[in-house]
Amino acid sequence: MKMLKSKLLDMKEKEHKDKIEDLKGNQMDIAWGSQIRSYVFCPYTMVKDHRTNYEVGNVQGVIDGDLNEFINSYLKWNKQNKED
């Protein structure tokens, strides 16, 4: 009986891990050159999203959480790439 419970528990844990992996999706390594945004403070200010090429000159606004335009440009970019 203990062996059966152990097998069932193992199966349940594997299902749970698989579900978590599906939710996570594809993840890139955190490495040099894999950043999605660049922040420039001097001599001018700019934030650029490297996936969508969206740029904004208000670095402080982005740092303070004004990300709506980045989110919108990513959603448009993602939709276009899925259609291709």
- Predicted TM-score (pTM) of the model is 0.58
Domain containing residue 75: 2-83
Q: At residue 80, does pLDDT exceed 80? A: yes
Cα distances (angstroms) measured from residue 13 to each of 6, 16, 21, 31, 44: 11, 5, 12, 31, 51
Mean pLDDT for the chain overall: 88
Q: What count of other Cβ atoms lies within 10 Å of the Cβ of residue 33?
A: 5
What is the DSSP-derived secondary structure letter of residue 32?
T
User: Domains in the chain: how many in total?
Assistant: 1
How does pLDDT run across 33-62, given as a tens digit for each residue?
678 888 898 888 999 999 899 999 999 999
Q: Is 48 helix (H, G, I), strand (E, B) or coil?
A: strand
Spatial CB neighbours of 57, under 8 Å, sequence gap ≥ 6: 44, 45, 46, 47
